[in-house]
Amino acid sequence: MKKILRYLALYLLLAMLPFVGFAVVGERAHNNYHNSFNAALVDKYHRLTETKGQKIIFVGGSSLPFGLRCDLIERELGYHAVNFGMYASLGTRVMTELSLDGVEREDVVVLAPELNAQTYSEYFNADVLWESVNEERSMICSLSWDEKESMAYNYFDFLWNKWRMRNAEGAAEGELYARSSLNEYGDIDYPRTGNIMPGGFDKSQPVTLSDLYDEAFFADMAAYVKAVRARGAEVYFAFSPTNAAAVSFTPEEAASFERYVAEKLGCTVLGSIADVTYEPGYFYDTNFHLNDTGAVLHTVRQIVLLKEQLGIDTPTNIEVPPLAKIDEDGTPQETDDHQEIMFVITEEGGMLYLSAIKDAYKGETSIHLPERSNGRPIVGLKSGFLSGCGQLTELEIPACYTIFDTGIFSGCPALEKVYLGLTEPSRSFVPAEGLMDGAPAAVKLLIPAAKINKFRSNYTWRNYKDYFAVY
C-alpha cells in the first residue's frame, strides 16, 4: 500500500509540474496592466479603506467616475468623498462586496448602477477582475464564495493573457481610459469637451427599464443595504445620469420602476430618473458617460438631493458652465478632389462625416478615405456607409476618423480587410454594440502591431477583439 501511495504521489507531482511551471512564468511576466483603466480599482479601494473620518461613498459603474466632481461634494457636504465606481463589466455585486471593507459608522453610501441590464443583474466577470486586482490580490478575500471559485477557475487564463501581452504596449499616460486619468478621489480627470457620439447618443444601447426587474439582483442589493446599516452607516439609492436621446421608456414606466426599486431595497431613493435624464450635449462617449460640463451639472443635482436627506441647509452656489462644443483640430490642408467627389459628405453638429459612396464608385475594389473636405477634417462614418459596394475587398481609414457609427461595414459582402489608422482608441467613439452588424464574417480590422494592445484593453473597442488582426 505504501508503495502505491508513493507512486500516486509521484504521479500527482509530475502531473502538476507543467501547471506550476506555467504559473511561475506567468507570474514573472511583465505587468502590462499597471496603467489600465481597470487597475485604478486598487487605488479606489485604498482610498476607501484608508480614509479616516466621515465618508460619502459612491458605489457603481463607470458613470460615477465620468459623472462626479468629488472635490465639489467634499466642499459642499463636509464629508470625505470616495468615488467607488469603476466598470460595468466587473458587475455591481463585486463593487458592493468590496465597498463593505471601507464602510464605517456614520458614513453615507450612495448606490448608483447604470440603467442597464448587465449592472442590474448578478453579472460577474472574473477575467476583468483579475486585471483589476493584479496588484492587490488580497481584495479577492472580500468576494463571495462563488466569485472566489470563478477567480480560481480563471487564474491560468489570466496568466496566459498576462504572459502573451508582456511585450505589448500598455495604456499610455495621457489616454482617457487609463489609470493615470483618474484623480485621488477616483474621478476621471481628463478633458472631455462636448459629445463625440454620432447624433449625440449611442444607438446600439437604447436605455430601457423592462429588463431591469431582476429579483435576484434586488435581493442582493437589499442584503447590501442591511449590511451597510449594520455597520452604523446609511445608504441611499441614486439613478445614473442617462442620455435623453437614448431613452426608450415612458414616464409611467419610469414611475413604476422607481416604486419597485424603493420597495425592494427598503432605502431612500434620491430623486427620480427624470431628475438625472439630461440632454445629449452633456454626454461624451456613451449614454451614461458625462463630459466635463455634464459632470458639474450632475454633481450639483446630487449635492442638492443629498443635502435634503442629510439636513444640510446651506445654499449650493456652484455655477454650471454652458454646454461645451467640440473643437475642430488641425490646420487646413489640400483636399484630394477625386477622393472627395466619390463620397456623400454630411455635416452634423459642426462636424463632417462620410455617409455614403456615390453609385458611380460602388464597383471599386479598394478605397482610401479622404481626410478633409474643403480644408475641414472629416471625423467619422455613418451607418450604412458601404452599402452596395459589392466588389470592395479593402478599405483604408485614416487616423483622423475617430467617430464610428453602427453597421458601417454592412452591404459589402466581399470586404476582407479594414485598415484602421486610428492610433489612440481612447480618443474615439465606437458603439458598445453593432459596429460590425452586417459585416462579412471573415472581415478583419487591421491595427498596427504596436497599438493592438490599446484596442484590446480599450473600454469599448475590446468588444470587437474577435475581428482584430495586426499589420
Q: Mutual orientation of helices 92-99 and 145-153 as an angle, nearest 10°?
A: 120
Concatenate the DSSP letters of all residues of 151-178 into one string: HHHTHHHHHHHHHHTTTS--PPTT-SSB
In tens, the pLDDT along 153-164 reads: 999 888 888 787
Query: How many whole angstroms separate alpha carbon 51 and alpha carbon 30?
Result: 31
Helix (H, G, I), strand (E, B) or coil at 343: strand
Average pLDDT, the chain: 88
What is the rounded average pLDDT of the residues 45-70?
97
CB half-sphere exposure, 387, CA atoms < 13 A: 13
pLDDT at 465: 93
In which band, very low, low, confident or very high, does the pLDDT at 3 lie, cut at 50, 70 and 90? low
Asked if 110 contacts 212 with a C-beta cutoff of 8 angstroms, the reply is no
Amino acid identity of 200? G
Asked if 378 contacts 330 with a C-beta cutoff of 8 angstroms, the reply is no
Asked if 436 contacts 405 with a C-beta cutoff of 8 angstroms, the reply is no
Within a domain: 7: no
Within a domain: 90: yes
Number of domains in the chain: 2
In tens, the pLDDT along 150-203 reads: 999 999 888 888 787 777 666 677 789 989 999 999 999 999 988 989 889 999
Is 35 in the same domain as 110? Answer: yes
Is 409 in the same domain as 306? Answer: no
Count helices and strands in the chain by DSSP H and E runs? 13, 17
pTM: 0.77
Final residue in a domain of this structure, among 270, 292, 310: 310
Residue of 198 and 253 predicted with greater confidence: 253
CATH number, domain at 73?
A: 3.40.50
Range of the domain at 356: 337-470
In tens, the pLDDT along 114-154 reads: 999 999 999 999 999 999 999 999 999 999 999 999 999 99
Helix (H, G, I), strand (E, B) or coil at 16: helix
Asked if 194 contacts 293 with a C-beta cutoff of 8 angstroms, the reply is no
Is 306 in the same domain as 370? Answer: no
Is 349 in the same domain as 414? Answer: yes
pLDDT value at 327 more than 90: no
Within a domain: 2: no
Asked if 134 contacts 39 with a C-beta cutoff of 8 angstroms, the reply is yes
